[in-house]
Structure 1
């Protein structure tokens, strides 16, 4: 895939995993199977003191993502995400984590009602944004991003995250906890209940 996209509308299709920990570290992992930059994984992390970190696999992804979301620190690291029978093993510089993924969540069962082409359409996502924020406080489906961009989250499936083990900067993450308080990288957070969602993110840039 091209590493020099020129389109004013960019689509990222894959999965986003969000989980809190008893250490206060909250983690959001983006696993993108299709994107203008090719397949990649990145990590948004918010520490117990509220400071935010982006872990990116290369400088191009780091520049684009940090121009869309807000971070206190941006680091390019050797980043590997490996799916396992239990869920996901993540090796991302100072973050080492094993995350367990369970069955379809209650949100996932609701999402099955909406046909996928509609669920990914920016007009639908704009219309349902107020409802999404009521159902999952902190979350949203449409909003403003950095540098005049508009962003839309088309979520089509969801599974529960049931466990997490690992370390951040050499310190234990502890065990699984709600994603609370909500992370504040952009216009919306992941839901409070830890889960992994199937998503197409559309970012529209000013012409």
Structure 2
């Protein structure tokens, strides 16, 4: 079974070496949701999820060293996002400037794999099709891209520095966000040939 998502991915690095990828989804297999993938300067990868259902879904697709389930507040849209994790223990702000629309908004998966993929690699250094560490096939269909023009993040009250490239790679999945901090409106499509993802989602609905 193929599962559709629709929302935004906001990604930014900071001078301290922290890299943050925020997913804010109006549509997902577990309903509207948000998640934050956080890579520390030493490479440790943490998923912050608001519920166990969201954590189970995301970890069925991507790899992490740590998973934390708890208070997570994400608001915004493709023009900017605000994040508070554990009532302000970690905060993130990203604001985006004008970007460009990527038509058409709805297109076949084969077009994303065979036509968009080489263009995206050449222009943005990103992969729009691949297989995640958990064996899930994924198509990233971006509809709007905007550069991040303002960003700030804190950890336990400490400022993490000015915005920087999302580099080195975060290693959450087969693809990395663009090195340039950005907010992208995107419609991912997921399919697990093994059926494992389908079973996890079915258990969560029971």
Q: TM-score, normalised by structure 1?
A: 0.85
| Residue in structure 2 matched with residue 135 of structure 1 by the alignment | 123
Describe the SS at the equivalent of 1:165: strand
| Residue in structure 1 matched with residue 202 of structure 2 by the alignment | none
How much has 1:191 moved relative to structure 2?
A: 0.4
Matched pairs, number: 190
| Residue in structure 1 matched with residue 94 of structure 2 by the alignment | 99
| Residue in structure 2 matched with residue 193 of structure 1 by the alignment | 180
Which structure 1 residue ranges, 4+ long, deviate > 3 Å from structure 2?
none
Deviations 1:116-161 (A, max 9, x none): 222xx21011103233222222x11000024332011000101111
How much has 1:170 moved relative to structure 2?
A: 4.2
Whether 1:115 and 2:108 are equivalent positions in the alignment is: no
CA RMSD of aligned residues (A): 1.7
Measure, in 2, the Cα distance between the counterparts of 1:83 and 1:169: 23
Measure, in 1, the Cα distance between the counterparts of 2:82 and 2:21: 14
| Residue in structure 2 matched with residue 71 of structure 1 by the alignment | 64
Measure, in 2, the Cα distance between the counterparts of 1:184 and 1:177: 17
Measure, in 2, the Cα distance between the counterparts of 1:166 and 1:183: 17
Measure, in 1, the Cα distance between the counterparts of 2:135 and 2:168: 26
| Residue in structure 2 matched with residue 22 of structure 1 by the alignment | 15
Q: Is the 8 A contact 2:5 2:28 kept in 1?
A: yes
Deviations 1:18-76 (A, max 9, x none): 11111110010000001121111100111111111100110011011112111111111
Q: Is the 8 A contact 2:10 2:81 kept in 1?
A: no
How much has 1:102 moved relative to structure 2?
A: 1.6
Describe the SS at the equivalent of 2:188: strand
Whether 1:47 and 2:35 are equivalent positions in the alignment is: no
Describe the SS at the equivalent of 1:129: helix
Q: Is the 8 A contact 2:62 2:134 kept in 1?
A: no
Q: TM-score, normalised by structure 2?
A: 0.86
Please, which runs of 5 or more residues in structure 1 have no aligned partner? 1-7
Whether 1:183 and 2:165 are equivalent positions in the alignment is: no
Measure, in 1, the Cα distance between the counterparts of 2:146 and 2:105: 16
Measure, in 2, the Cα distance between the counterparts of 1:34 and 1:22: 33
Of the three residues 126, 132, 154, the one matched with 1:145 is 132
Q: Is the 8 A contact 1:67 1:146 kept in 2?
A: no
